[in-house]
Amino acid sequence: MYVPWRKVYSWHCVACGKCCIDFKPKLTYYEYLKLRKTGFVEEKAGRYYIKKINGKCPFQIDNLCSLQGSLKPISCKVFPFLVRKKPAKNEDLAYYEYDGEEYYVYVSTYCKNTILSKNPTENLKKLVKEAIELVIGRKREVEWITWVQSSKPKV
């Protein structure tokens, strides 16, 4: 389930790797073309995805993602955030103005580290802004939406 970002107090990633097992990331056509030679991507009804191999994303090694930089899909870079130009629901609570443009940002509650409550922390607002910047190409690389460096991934 996705909720508007103003209903989220905080989020952080501990690199548990679960979302890469349960989710099937959508790709843009350009991302699909870049990854096609791996054999791990597929087209279904005009939409593009990473295939599940043995029940998980084939790019996941141990609990971490082996795709970095421009190869990592935007939907993965911004997870658990979802940025839309049109509101899906709860327009006011999802609204974010960036550079004079309207965006609507939602956060997945799948991750157990998505903590719901009013009054998002300043850090959560920073993550929302970064998600927008990544989606619109203002920023190429993730700086803040990343796993907590002090947490050791389980291997």
**Residue 127 touches ligand SF4, criterion: CB under 6 A:** no
Using CA atoms, how far apart are residues 29 and 12, in angstroms rounded to an integer? 29
Per CB under 6 A, does 131 bind ligand SF4? no
- Kindly tell me the sign of the dihedral angle through the C-alpha atoms of 145, 17, 24, 117: negative
Q: Does 8 bind ligand SF4 (CB under 6 A)?
A: no
Rounded to whole angstroms, how far apart are CA atoms 142 and 128?
Answer: 12
Interface segment toward ligand SF4; rule CB under 6 A; list 9-17, 94-102, 118-126, 128-136: 9-17
25 contacts ligand SF4 (rule: CB under 6 A): yes
Give the span between the Cα atoms of 90 and 77, in whole angstroms: 24
Spacing of C-alpha 90 from chain mean position: 20
Tokens of 137: 């190409």
Question: Rule CB under 6 A: is residue 120 a binding residue for ligand SF4?
Answer: no
Of 3, 93, 111, 136, the residue at the interface with ligand SF4 (CB under 6 A) is 111
Residue 148, both tokens: 């907590």
Least separation in angstroms between CB 121 and ligand SF4: 17
Q: Minimal CA–CA distance to 64: which of 74, 75, 72?
A: 72
Instruction: For residue 59, state whether it binds ligand SF4 (rule: CB under 6 A).
Output: yes
Among 34, 36, 52, 60, indicate the residue that binds ligand SF4 (CB under 6 A). 60
Q: Residue 49 or residue 95: which is nearer to ligand SF4 going by CB? A: 49
Give the integer Cα–Cα distance in Å for 112 and 145: 15
Q: Interface residues with ligand SF4 (CB under 6 A)? A: 13-20, 25, 50, 57, 59-60, 65, 67, 73, 76, 80, 111, 113, 147
